[in-house]
Chains A and B, each alone.
Chain A
Amino acid sequence: MGEVMILTGNYSAAYAAKAARVQVVAAYPITPQTSIVEKIAELIERGEMKCEYVRVESEHSAMAACIGASAAGARAFTATSAHGLAYMHEMLHWAAGARLPIVMAVINRAMGPPWNIWPDHIDSLSQRDTGWIQFYVESNQEFFDTIIQAYRVAEDPEVRMPAMVCGDGFLLSHTYQPVHVLSEKEVEEYLPPYEPPFDISDVDNPVTHGNIVLAEAVGTQVGYMEYRYLMQVGMLKAKDKIKKAADDFKRMFGRYHGALVEEYRTNDAEVVMVSMGTLAAQAKYVVDMLREQGYQVGSVKLRVYRPFPYEDFIRIGRRVKVLVVVDRNASYGYCGISAADIAAALYGEKNPPLIMNFIVGIGGRDVTPDMQAELFMRAFKALEEEKEGFICEWVGLKGD
Protein backbone atom coordinates (compact mmCIF):
# COMPACT_ATOMS: atom_id res chain seq x y z
CA MET A 1 0.00 0.00 0.00
CA GLY A 2 1.19 3.49 -0.78
CA GLU A 3 4.20 4.54 -2.71
CA VAL A 4 7.79 4.02 -1.61
CA MET A 5 9.79 7.22 -1.76
CA ILE A 6 13.35 7.96 -0.67
CA LEU A 7 12.85 10.75 1.83
CA THR A 8 14.67 12.60 4.58
CA GLY A 9 12.94 12.71 7.97
CA ASN A 10 11.88 16.25 7.19
CA TYR A 11 10.33 15.39 3.84
CA SER A 12 8.68 12.41 5.47
CA ALA A 13 7.03 14.76 7.99
CA ALA A 14 5.93 17.08 5.18
CA TYR A 15 4.34 14.22 3.23
CA ALA A 16 2.65 13.06 6.44
CA ALA A 17 1.06 16.50 6.86
CA LYS A 18 -0.16 16.21 3.28
CA ALA A 19 -1.55 12.71 3.84
CA ALA A 20 -3.29 13.92 7.01
CA ARG A 21 -5.06 16.59 4.92
CA VAL A 22 -3.73 19.42 7.04
CA GLN A 23 -5.65 22.62 6.26
CA VAL A 24 -3.48 25.31 7.84
CA VAL A 25 0.29 25.45 8.25
CA ALA A 26 1.94 28.40 9.99
CA ALA A 27 5.66 28.10 10.49
CA TYR A 28 8.95 29.90 10.77
CA PRO A 29 12.25 28.44 9.56
CA ILE A 30 14.90 27.09 11.94
CA THR A 31 17.65 24.55 11.40
CA PRO A 32 17.28 21.54 11.27
CA GLN A 33 13.51 21.76 10.81
CA THR A 34 13.37 24.18 7.87
CA SER A 35 13.03 21.70 5.04
CA ILE A 36 9.74 20.35 6.50
CA VAL A 37 7.93 23.61 5.91
CA GLU A 38 9.90 24.32 2.73
CA LYS A 39 8.61 21.05 1.32
CA ILE A 40 5.06 21.83 2.41
CA ALA A 41 5.29 25.27 0.76
CA GLU A 42 6.49 23.55 -2.40
CA LEU A 43 3.67 20.97 -2.33
CA ILE A 44 1.11 23.76 -1.93
CA GLU A 45 2.72 25.83 -4.69
CA ARG A 46 2.64 22.87 -7.06
CA GLY A 47 -1.05 22.38 -6.26
CA GLU A 48 -0.46 18.92 -4.78
CA MET A 49 -1.59 19.94 -1.31
CA LYS A 50 -4.71 21.95 -0.53
CA CYS A 51 -3.72 23.99 2.47
CA GLU A 52 -3.47 27.57 3.72
CA TYR A 53 0.17 28.48 4.37
CA VAL A 54 0.59 31.38 6.78
CA ARG A 55 3.97 33.10 6.79
CA VAL A 56 4.68 34.56 10.20
CA GLU A 57 7.45 36.58 11.82
CA SER A 58 8.27 34.17 14.66
CA GLU A 59 7.56 30.79 16.19
CA HIS A 60 5.42 32.45 18.85
CA SER A 61 3.21 33.78 16.05
CA ALA A 62 3.35 30.46 14.21
CA MET A 63 1.80 28.69 17.16
CA ALA A 64 -0.65 31.56 17.72
CA ALA A 65 -1.81 31.23 14.10
CA CYS A 66 -2.19 27.46 14.52
CA ILE A 67 -4.24 28.08 17.66
CA GLY A 68 -6.56 30.43 15.77
CA ALA A 69 -6.89 27.98 12.90
CA SER A 70 -7.53 25.02 15.17
CA ALA A 71 -10.08 26.95 17.25
CA ALA A 72 -11.88 27.75 14.01
CA GLY A 73 -12.07 24.04 13.26
CA ALA A 74 -9.17 23.55 10.85
CA ARG A 75 -6.55 20.82 11.09
CA ALA A 76 -3.37 22.76 11.86
CA PHE A 77 0.28 21.79 11.63
CA THR A 78 3.62 23.41 12.31
CA ALA A 79 7.21 22.38 12.85
CA THR A 80 10.13 23.77 14.79
CA SER A 81 13.36 23.04 16.67
CA ALA A 82 15.25 24.11 19.78
CA HIS A 83 15.10 27.90 20.20
CA GLY A 84 12.02 28.12 18.03
CA LEU A 85 10.24 25.68 20.32
CA ALA A 86 11.41 27.59 23.38
CA TYR A 87 10.05 30.78 21.83
CA MET A 88 6.66 29.06 21.39
CA HIS A 89 6.53 28.13 25.06
CA GLU A 90 3.74 30.48 26.11
CA MET A 91 1.56 29.45 23.17
CA LEU A 92 2.17 25.76 23.89
CA HIS A 93 0.39 26.25 27.22
CA TRP A 94 -2.38 28.09 25.39
CA ALA A 95 -2.89 25.35 22.78
CA ALA A 96 -3.12 22.67 25.48
CA GLY A 97 -5.32 24.72 27.81
CA ALA A 98 -7.68 25.52 24.96
CA ARG A 99 -7.72 21.78 24.13
CA LEU A 100 -6.76 22.29 20.51
CA PRO A 101 -5.50 19.18 18.66
CA ILE A 102 -2.60 20.84 16.85
CA VAL A 103 0.16 18.49 15.74
CA MET A 104 3.72 19.75 15.52
CA ALA A 105 6.85 18.09 14.23
CA VAL A 106 9.77 18.90 16.51
CA ILE A 107 13.22 18.23 15.15
CA ASN A 108 15.25 17.80 18.29
CA ARG A 109 18.26 20.08 18.55
CA ALA A 110 20.47 21.23 21.41
CA MET A 111 19.94 24.64 23.01
CA GLY A 112 22.58 27.36 22.90
CA PRO A 113 24.90 28.67 24.07
CA PRO A 114 27.33 27.23 23.15
CA TRP A 115 25.67 27.49 19.75
CA ASN A 116 24.88 24.04 18.42
CA ILE A 117 22.54 22.66 15.77
CA TRP A 118 22.97 18.95 16.47
CA PRO A 119 20.55 16.65 18.25
CA ASP A 120 19.69 16.17 21.87
CA HIS A 121 16.31 16.06 23.58
CA ILE A 122 16.46 19.03 25.93
CA ASP A 123 14.35 21.29 23.69
CA SER A 124 11.21 19.16 23.70
CA LEU A 125 11.70 17.73 27.19
CA SER A 126 11.83 21.30 28.50
CA GLN A 127 8.23 21.57 27.23
CA ARG A 128 7.19 18.43 29.11
CA ASP A 129 4.72 20.13 31.42
CA THR A 130 2.88 22.24 28.88
CA GLY A 131 0.21 19.58 28.31
CA TRP A 132 1.37 18.33 24.92
CA ILE A 133 1.39 14.65 24.04
CA GLN A 134 4.99 13.79 23.13
CA PHE A 135 6.02 11.08 20.69
CA TYR A 136 9.68 10.24 19.97
CA VAL A 137 10.36 8.40 16.72
CA GLU A 138 13.27 6.28 15.56
CA SER A 139 12.94 6.23 11.77
CA ASN A 140 11.58 8.29 8.89
CA GLN A 141 8.82 5.74 8.40
CA GLU A 142 7.82 6.01 12.04
CA PHE A 143 7.89 9.78 11.68
CA PHE A 144 5.42 9.59 8.78
CA ASP A 145 3.12 7.08 10.46
CA THR A 146 3.20 8.76 13.87
CA ILE A 147 2.16 12.20 12.59
CA ILE A 148 -0.97 10.59 11.18
CA GLN A 149 -1.56 8.64 14.39
CA ALA A 150 -0.97 11.79 16.43
CA TYR A 151 -3.85 13.60 14.74
CA ARG A 152 -6.14 10.71 15.43
CA VAL A 153 -5.23 10.68 19.13
CA ALA A 154 -5.18 14.46 19.58
CA GLU A 155 -8.57 14.96 17.91
CA ASP A 156 -10.31 12.21 19.86
CA PRO A 157 -13.22 13.87 21.72
CA GLU A 158 -12.08 12.21 24.94
CA VAL A 159 -8.54 13.54 24.53
CA ARG A 160 -8.46 16.90 22.75
CA MET A 161 -4.82 17.62 23.53
CA PRO A 162 -2.12 18.85 21.13
CA ALA A 163 0.72 16.52 20.19
CA MET A 164 4.35 16.94 19.23
CA VAL A 165 6.13 14.29 17.22
CA CYS A 166 9.85 14.53 17.89
CA GLY A 167 12.62 13.27 15.62
CA ASP A 168 16.36 13.65 16.07
CA GLY A 169 17.97 16.50 14.15
CA PHE A 170 20.15 15.40 11.21
CA LEU A 171 20.10 11.73 12.30
CA LEU A 172 16.55 11.67 10.93
CA SER A 173 15.85 15.14 9.61
CA HIS A 174 18.58 15.09 6.96
CA THR A 175 19.06 11.34 6.50
CA TYR A 176 17.40 9.64 3.53
CA GLN A 177 15.51 6.40 4.09
CA PRO A 178 12.86 4.57 2.07
CA VAL A 179 9.40 5.57 3.31
CA HIS A 180 6.03 4.08 2.40
CA VAL A 181 4.02 7.23 1.70
CA LEU A 182 0.26 6.97 2.02
CA SER A 183 -2.04 9.18 0.00
CA GLU A 184 -4.79 11.41 1.41
CA LYS A 185 -7.35 8.93 0.14
CA GLU A 186 -5.72 5.94 1.80
CA VAL A 187 -5.57 7.78 5.14
CA GLU A 188 -9.13 9.13 4.98
CA GLU A 189 -10.82 6.18 6.65
CA TYR A 190 -8.21 6.01 9.42
CA LEU A 191 -8.30 9.75 9.97
CA PRO A 192 -11.71 11.30 9.27
CA PRO A 193 -12.05 15.11 9.11
CA TYR A 194 -11.62 16.98 12.39
CA GLU A 195 -14.84 17.74 14.21
CA PRO A 196 -14.38 20.73 16.52
CA PRO A 197 -16.49 20.81 19.71
CA PHE A 198 -18.04 24.16 18.81
CA ASP A 199 -18.37 26.41 15.81
CA ILE A 200 -16.39 29.56 16.40
CA SER A 201 -17.12 30.90 12.92
CA ASP A 202 -20.83 31.37 13.64
CA VAL A 203 -20.92 35.17 13.70
CA ASP A 204 -24.53 35.23 14.89
CA ASN A 205 -23.57 33.42 18.08
CA PRO A 206 -20.12 34.77 18.92
CA VAL A 207 -18.11 33.20 21.74
CA THR A 208 -14.92 34.15 23.51
CA HIS A 209 -12.43 31.35 24.10
CA GLY A 210 -10.39 30.93 27.23
CA ASN A 211 -12.00 33.67 29.27
CA ILE A 212 -11.15 34.19 32.93
CA VAL A 213 -12.21 31.41 35.31
CA LEU A 214 -11.91 32.05 39.02
CA ALA A 215 -10.04 29.94 41.55
CA GLU A 216 -13.01 28.61 43.47
CA ALA A 217 -15.78 26.37 42.18
CA VAL A 218 -18.97 28.16 43.24
CA GLY A 219 -22.45 26.65 42.94
CA THR A 220 -22.90 25.13 39.50
CA GLN A 221 -19.75 26.83 38.23
CA VAL A 222 -16.40 25.07 37.98
CA GLY A 223 -13.13 26.80 38.73
CA TYR A 224 -9.72 26.96 37.07
CA MET A 225 -8.55 23.81 38.84
CA GLU A 226 -11.40 21.76 37.33
CA TYR A 227 -10.42 22.85 33.82
CA ARG A 228 -6.83 21.82 34.58
CA TYR A 229 -8.02 18.48 35.92
CA LEU A 230 -9.82 17.89 32.63
CA MET A 231 -6.43 18.18 30.92
CA GLN A 232 -5.13 15.47 33.23
CA VAL A 233 -8.14 13.30 32.39
CA GLY A 234 -7.62 13.89 28.66
CA MET A 235 -3.96 12.96 28.93
CA LEU A 236 -4.63 9.78 30.92
CA LYS A 237 -7.30 8.75 28.42
CA ALA A 238 -4.83 9.36 25.59
CA LYS A 239 -2.92 6.23 26.67
CA ASP A 240 -5.62 3.83 25.48
CA LYS A 241 -6.24 5.98 22.41
CA ILE A 242 -2.55 5.81 21.48
CA LYS A 243 -2.63 2.01 21.80
CA LYS A 244 -5.76 1.83 19.66
CA ALA A 245 -4.35 4.26 17.09
CA ALA A 246 -1.23 2.06 16.78
CA ASP A 247 -3.26 -1.16 16.57
CA ASP A 248 -5.67 0.20 13.98
CA PHE A 249 -2.77 1.54 11.97
CA LYS A 250 -1.22 -1.90 11.97
CA ARG A 251 -4.49 -3.50 10.92
CA MET A 252 -5.05 -1.03 8.07
CA PHE A 253 -1.53 -0.36 6.84
CA GLY A 254 0.51 -3.26 8.22
CA ARG A 255 3.06 -1.21 10.16
CA TYR A 256 3.57 -1.04 13.91
CA HIS A 257 6.15 0.96 15.85
CA GLY A 258 4.97 0.24 19.37
CA ALA A 259 2.30 1.99 21.41
CA LEU A 260 3.51 3.96 24.43
CA VAL A 261 6.68 1.89 24.58
CA GLU A 262 8.12 -0.63 22.18
CA GLU A 263 9.79 -3.66 23.73
CA TYR A 264 12.49 -5.51 21.84
CA ARG A 265 13.65 -8.95 23.03
CA THR A 266 12.78 -8.11 26.64
CA ASN A 267 10.98 -11.36 27.50
CA ASP A 268 13.84 -13.13 29.23
CA ALA A 269 16.15 -10.13 29.49
CA GLU A 270 18.16 -9.42 32.64
CA VAL A 271 19.33 -6.02 31.46
CA VAL A 272 17.13 -3.70 29.46
CA MET A 273 18.18 -0.43 27.85
CA VAL A 274 15.60 2.35 27.78
CA SER A 275 16.09 5.10 25.22
CA MET A 276 14.26 7.56 23.01
CA GLY A 277 14.44 8.41 19.33
CA THR A 278 17.24 7.13 17.11
CA LEU A 279 19.18 5.78 20.10
CA ALA A 280 16.39 3.21 20.48
CA ALA A 281 16.84 2.10 16.86
CA GLN A 282 20.55 1.60 17.43
CA ALA A 283 19.90 -0.16 20.76
CA LYS A 284 18.05 -2.93 18.91
CA TYR A 285 21.12 -3.53 16.77
CA VAL A 286 23.29 -3.68 19.89
CA VAL A 287 20.83 -6.06 21.57
CA ASP A 288 21.05 -8.42 18.58
CA MET A 289 24.83 -8.22 18.70
CA LEU A 290 25.00 -9.05 22.42
CA ARG A 291 22.32 -11.75 22.15
CA GLU A 292 24.58 -13.52 19.65
CA GLN A 293 27.26 -13.50 22.32
CA GLY A 294 24.80 -15.02 24.81
CA TYR A 295 23.85 -11.99 26.87
CA GLN A 296 20.22 -11.75 28.00
CA VAL A 297 19.58 -8.16 27.00
CA GLY A 298 16.66 -6.19 25.58
CA SER A 299 15.62 -2.73 24.58
CA VAL A 300 12.67 -0.52 25.42
CA LYS A 301 11.88 2.42 23.21
CA LEU A 302 10.16 5.16 25.18
CA ARG A 303 7.90 6.17 22.32
CA VAL A 304 5.43 8.34 24.22
CA TYR A 305 6.86 10.46 26.98
CA ARG A 306 3.64 12.29 27.90
CA PRO A 307 1.31 10.77 28.95
CA PHE A 308 4.00 8.80 30.78
CA PRO A 309 3.66 5.00 30.49
CA TYR A 310 4.44 4.29 34.15
CA GLU A 311 2.38 1.07 34.12
CA ASP A 312 4.67 -0.32 31.40
CA PHE A 313 7.76 0.48 33.45
CA ILE A 314 6.29 -1.16 36.57
CA ARG A 315 5.55 -4.27 34.47
CA ILE A 316 9.01 -4.30 32.85
CA GLY A 317 10.72 -3.41 36.15
CA ARG A 318 9.21 -6.47 37.84
CA ARG A 319 10.99 -8.89 35.51
CA VAL A 320 14.38 -7.31 34.82
CA LYS A 321 17.41 -6.86 37.05
CA VAL A 322 18.86 -3.68 35.60
CA LEU A 323 17.28 -0.82 33.69
CA VAL A 324 19.92 1.07 31.76
CA VAL A 325 18.22 4.40 31.13
CA VAL A 326 20.00 6.35 28.44
CA ASP A 327 19.09 10.03 28.41
CA ARG A 328 20.10 12.29 25.56
CA ASN A 329 19.37 15.20 27.89
CA ALA A 330 20.13 16.32 31.41
CA SER A 331 18.34 18.21 34.12
CA TYR A 332 21.22 20.24 35.50
CA GLY A 333 21.67 19.62 39.19
CA TYR A 334 19.87 16.26 39.07
CA CYS A 335 19.87 13.42 36.55
CA GLY A 336 18.49 12.45 33.16
CA ILE A 337 14.91 13.63 32.71
CA SER A 338 13.31 10.33 31.69
CA ALA A 339 15.26 8.40 34.35
CA ALA A 340 13.75 10.53 37.12
CA ASP A 341 10.26 9.70 35.85
CA ILE A 342 11.05 6.00 35.50
CA ALA A 343 12.48 5.92 39.03
CA ALA A 344 9.32 7.57 40.38
CA ALA A 345 7.21 4.94 38.61
CA LEU A 346 9.16 2.17 40.35
CA TYR A 347 9.11 3.72 43.80
CA GLY A 348 7.57 1.34 46.32
CA GLU A 349 8.11 -1.80 44.23
CA LYS A 350 9.27 -4.77 46.34
CA ASN A 351 12.38 -5.73 44.39
CA PRO A 352 12.98 -2.83 42.08
CA PRO A 353 15.65 -3.16 39.41
CA LEU A 354 18.89 -1.24 39.66
CA ILE A 355 18.55 1.92 37.56
CA MET A 356 21.73 2.99 35.80
CA ASN A 357 21.13 6.36 34.21
CA PHE A 358 23.64 7.45 31.60
CA ILE A 359 23.69 10.92 30.11
CA VAL A 360 24.97 10.60 26.54
CA GLY A 361 25.09 12.29 23.17
CA ILE A 362 24.50 15.85 24.34
CA GLY A 363 24.63 18.37 21.49
CA GLY A 364 24.95 15.59 18.93
CA ARG A 365 28.01 13.86 20.40
CA ASP A 366 28.22 10.53 18.63
CA VAL A 367 26.83 7.53 20.46
CA THR A 368 28.24 4.42 18.85
CA PRO A 369 26.93 0.84 19.12
CA ASP A 370 30.20 -0.02 20.91
CA MET A 371 29.43 2.60 23.52
CA GLN A 372 25.92 1.23 24.07
CA ALA A 373 27.40 -2.29 24.32
CA GLU A 374 29.84 -0.97 26.91
CA LEU A 375 26.91 0.43 28.95
CA PHE A 376 25.28 -3.02 28.87
CA MET A 377 28.57 -4.54 30.10
CA ARG A 378 28.72 -2.05 32.94
CA ALA A 379 25.21 -3.12 33.93
CA PHE A 380 26.30 -6.78 34.11
CA LYS A 381 29.32 -5.75 36.20
CA ALA A 382 27.05 -3.80 38.58
CA LEU A 383 24.84 -6.88 38.80
CA GLU A 384 27.84 -9.00 39.83
CA GLU A 385 28.76 -6.40 42.44
CA GLU A 386 25.15 -6.54 43.70
CA LYS A 387 24.62 -2.84 43.33
CA GLU A 388 21.17 -1.43 44.08
CA GLY A 389 19.28 1.82 43.76
CA PHE A 390 19.84 4.58 41.26
CA ILE A 391 23.14 5.66 39.75
CA CYS A 392 23.49 8.58 37.36
CA GLU A 393 26.59 9.31 35.31
CA TRP A 394 27.55 11.40 32.29
CA VAL A 395 29.44 9.21 29.83
CA GLY A 396 31.51 9.91 26.74
CA LEU A 397 33.14 13.03 28.20
CA LYS A 398 36.69 13.98 27.28
CA GLY A 399 39.00 12.04 29.57
CA ASP A 400 36.56 9.13 30.06
Chain B
Amino acid sequence: MKIVVKNYEWMKEIPPTPLSRPGPGSMGMTGRWRAERPVINYEKCKKCGMCWTYCPENAIVFSKDEGPRINYNYCKGCLVCVEECPYDAIKVEREVVEWEK
Protein backbone atom coordinates (compact mmCIF):
# COMPACT_ATOMS: atom_id res chain seq x y z
CA MET B 1 0.00 0.00 0.00
CA LYS B 2 1.16 3.51 -0.79
CA ILE B 3 -0.58 6.83 -0.23
CA VAL B 4 0.39 9.33 -2.91
CA VAL B 5 1.14 12.74 -1.46
CA LYS B 6 0.38 15.57 -3.87
CA ASN B 7 2.04 18.95 -4.10
CA TYR B 8 0.49 21.20 -1.49
CA GLU B 9 2.69 24.26 -1.84
CA TRP B 10 -0.47 26.29 -2.38
CA MET B 11 -1.55 25.58 1.17
CA LYS B 12 0.91 28.10 2.57
CA GLU B 13 -1.16 30.91 1.13
CA ILE B 14 -4.52 29.93 2.55
CA PRO B 15 -5.77 29.75 6.12
CA PRO B 16 -6.39 26.27 7.57
CA THR B 17 -10.11 26.87 7.39
CA PRO B 18 -11.93 29.24 5.04
CA LEU B 19 -12.39 32.73 6.39
CA SER B 20 -14.47 35.55 5.03
CA ARG B 21 -14.54 39.16 6.08
CA PRO B 22 -17.92 40.79 6.23
CA GLY B 23 -18.67 43.38 3.59
CA PRO B 24 -21.69 44.39 1.57
CA GLY B 25 -22.73 42.05 -1.18
CA SER B 26 -20.14 39.30 -1.10
CA MET B 27 -22.89 37.02 -2.44
CA GLY B 28 -24.02 39.59 -5.04
CA MET B 29 -27.21 41.64 -5.10
CA THR B 30 -29.32 39.48 -2.82
CA GLY B 31 -32.21 41.92 -3.25
CA ARG B 32 -32.89 40.05 -6.48
CA TRP B 33 -34.18 37.11 -4.47
CA ARG B 34 -37.10 39.24 -3.22
CA ALA B 35 -40.63 38.19 -4.12
CA GLU B 36 -42.35 40.82 -1.98
CA ARG B 37 -41.20 44.35 -1.22
CA PRO B 38 -41.62 46.12 2.14
CA VAL B 39 -42.44 49.80 1.63
CA ILE B 40 -42.30 52.28 4.52
CA ASN B 41 -45.16 54.74 4.85
CA TYR B 42 -43.27 57.71 6.30
CA GLU B 43 -46.51 59.42 7.35
CA LYS B 44 -47.19 56.59 9.82
CA CYS B 45 -43.51 55.94 10.76
CA LYS B 46 -42.54 57.16 14.27
CA LYS B 47 -38.80 56.50 13.70
CA CYS B 48 -38.74 54.01 16.61
CA GLY B 49 -36.12 51.84 14.89
CA MET B 50 -37.81 48.47 15.51
CA CYS B 51 -37.55 47.53 11.81
CA TRP B 52 -33.83 48.36 11.86
CA THR B 53 -33.37 46.28 15.03
CA TYR B 54 -35.06 43.22 13.61
CA CYS B 55 -33.86 43.25 9.99
CA PRO B 56 -31.84 39.99 9.76
CA GLU B 57 -29.89 41.24 6.74
CA ASN B 58 -28.88 44.67 8.03
CA ALA B 59 -30.60 45.99 4.93
CA ILE B 60 -32.26 48.85 6.81
CA VAL B 61 -30.22 51.97 7.44
CA PHE B 62 -31.43 54.13 10.31
CA SER B 63 -30.83 57.68 11.41
CA LYS B 64 -32.66 59.53 14.17
CA ASP B 65 -33.51 62.45 11.90
CA GLU B 66 -34.56 60.63 8.77
CA GLY B 67 -35.74 57.36 10.27
CA PRO B 68 -35.32 54.01 8.51
CA ARG B 69 -34.43 53.55 4.88
CA ILE B 70 -34.56 50.15 3.18
CA ASN B 71 -31.65 49.23 0.93
CA TYR B 72 -33.43 47.29 -1.80
CA ASN B 73 -30.16 45.99 -3.24
CA TYR B 74 -29.89 43.66 -0.26
CA CYS B 75 -33.43 43.40 1.17
CA LYS B 76 -34.49 39.78 0.50
CA GLY B 77 -38.13 40.54 1.27
CA CYS B 78 -38.46 38.40 4.38
CA LEU B 79 -40.97 40.97 5.76
CA VAL B 80 -39.83 40.59 9.36
CA CYS B 81 -39.91 44.41 9.52
CA VAL B 82 -43.58 44.40 8.47
CA GLU B 83 -44.34 41.96 11.28
CA GLU B 84 -42.41 43.90 13.89
CA CYS B 85 -43.46 47.48 13.07
CA PRO B 86 -45.61 48.58 16.05
CA TYR B 87 -47.35 51.30 13.98
CA ASP B 88 -48.29 49.21 10.95
CA ALA B 89 -46.25 51.62 8.88
CA ILE B 90 -44.73 49.13 6.44
CA LYS B 91 -46.88 47.73 3.67
CA VAL B 92 -46.17 44.84 1.33
CA GLU B 93 -46.07 45.17 -2.43
CA ARG B 94 -45.78 42.33 -4.90
CA GLU B 95 -42.42 42.45 -6.69
CA VAL B 96 -43.03 42.58 -10.46
CA VAL B 97 -40.23 41.88 -12.88
CA GLU B 98 -40.62 43.28 -16.39
CA TRP B 99 -38.96 40.88 -18.82
CA GLU B 100 -37.47 42.33 -21.97
CA LYS B 101 -39.24 41.13 -25.08
Which A positions have Cβ atoms within 8 angstroms of B? 97-99, 160, 197-198, 205-213, 222, 226-227, 229-230, 233-234, 236, 310, 314, 344-348
In the complex, the answer to whether B17 meets A98 with C-beta atoms within 8 Å is yes
Q: Interface with A: B1-9, B38-46, B49-57, B73-81, which one?
A: B1-9
Q: If the complex has contacts A230-B11, A310-B1, A348-B1, are A205 and B21 also in contact, measured as CB distance less than 8 A?
A: yes
Q: What range describes how many residues of B lie at the interface?
A: 10 to 19
Give B89 Cβ to nearest chain A Cβ, in Å: 32
Give A240 Cβ to nearest chain B Cβ, in Å: 13
What separation, in Å, do the CA atoms of A197 and B20 have in the docked complex? 15
The 7 closest A-B pairs by CB, nearest first: A99-B16, A211-B20, A208-B20, A98-B17, A207-B19, A345-B1, A213-B18
What separation, in Å, do the CA atoms of A222 and B12 have in the docked complex? 12
Q: If the complex has contacts A310-B1, A344-B1, A348-B1, are A233 and B18 also in contact, measured as CB distance less than 8 A?
A: no
Give B93 Cβ to nearest chain A Cβ, in Å: 31
The verdict on B15 contacting chain A, using a C-beta distance below 8 Å, is yes
In the complex, the answer to whether A230 meets B18 with C-beta atoms within 8 Å is no
The verdict on B10 contacting chain A, using a C-beta distance below 8 Å, is yes
What separation, in Å, do the CA atoms of A233 and B8 have in the docked complex? 8
In the complex, the answer to whether A208 meets B5 with C-beta atoms within 8 Å is no
Q: If the complex has contacts A98-B17, A207-B21, A222-B14, are A236 and B1 also in contact, measured as CB distance less than 8 A?
A: no
The verdict on B25 contacting chain A, using a C-beta distance below 8 Å, is no
In the complex, the answer to whether A229 meets B15 with C-beta atoms within 8 Å is no
CB-nearest residue of chain A relative to B22? A206
Q: Which residues of A are found within 8 Å of B3, using beta-carbon distances? A: 236, 310
In the complex, the answer to whether B19 meets A198 with C-beta atoms within 8 Å is yes
A-B contact pairs, 26 of them (CB 8 A): A99-B16, A99-B17, A160-B16, A198-B15, A198-B19, A206-B21, A207-B20, A208-B19, A208-B20, A209-B18, A209-B19, A210-B17, A211-B18, A213-B18, A222-B10, A222-B14, A227-B14, A230-B8, A230-B14, A230-B16, A233-B5, A234-B16, A236-B3, A310-B1, A346-B1, A348-B1
CB-nearest residue of chain B relative to A222? B14
What separation, in Å, do the CA atoms of A97 and B17 have in the docked complex? 7
Interface of B is mostly: loop
Q: Which residues of B are found within 8 Å of A98, using beta-carbon distances? A: 17
In the complex, the answer to whether A236 meets B5 with C-beta atoms within 8 Å is yes
Give A329 Cβ to nearest chain B Cβ, in Å: 22
Give B10 Cβ to nearest chain A Cβ, in Å: 7
Q: Which residues of A are found within 8 Å of B1, using beta-carbon distances? A: 310, 314, 344-348
Give B60 Cβ to nearest chain A Cβ, in Å: 20
Q: Which of A205, A209, A310, A348 contacts B17 (CB 8 A)?
A: A209
Q: A207-B19, A344-B1 are in contact. List 15 more A-B contacts (CB 8 A).
A: A98-B17, A160-B16, A198-B15, A208-B19, A208-B20, A209-B18, A210-B17, A210-B18, A211-B20, A222-B10, A226-B10, A227-B17, A229-B6, A234-B16, A236-B3
What separation, in Å, do the CA atoms of A230 and B22 have in the docked complex? 25
What separation, in Å, do the CA atoms of A229 and B3 have in the docked complex? 13
What separation, in Å, do the CA atoms of A212 and B11 have in the docked complex? 18
Among B8, B11, B18, which residue has the most Cβ atoms of chain A within 10 A? B18
Q: Which residues of B are found within 8 Å of A236, using beta-carbon distances? A: 3, 5
Q: Which residues of A are found within 8 Å of B11, using beta-carbon distances? A: 226, 230, 233
Q: Which of B8, B10, B19 contacts A211 (CB 8 A)?
A: B19
CB-nearest residue of chain B relative to A345? B1
Q: Which residues of A are found within 8 Å of B18, using beta-carbon distances? A: 209-213, 227
What separation, in Å, do the CA atoms of A54 and B99 have in the docked complex? 55
Give B61 Cβ to nearest chain A Cβ, in Å: 19
In the complex, the answer to whether B17 meets A208 with C-beta atoms within 8 Å is no
CB-nearest residue of chain B relative to A97? B17
Q: Which residues of A are found within 8 Å of B6, using beta-carbon distances? A: 229
Q: Which residues of B are found within 8 Å of A347, using beta-carbon distances? A: 1
Q: Which residues of B are found within 8 Å of A212, using beta-carbon distances? A: 18
Q: Which residues of A are found within 8 Å of B16, using beta-carbon distances? A: 99, 160, 197, 230, 234
What separation, in Å, do the CA atoms of A230 and B20 have in the docked complex? 18
What separation, in Å, do the CA atoms of A226 and B17 have in the docked complex? 11
Give A384 Cβ to nearest chain B Cβ, in Å: 29
What separation, in Å, do the CA atoms of A99 and B11 have in the docked complex? 14
CB-nearest residue of chain B relative to A98? B17
CB-nearest residue of chain A relative to B8? A233
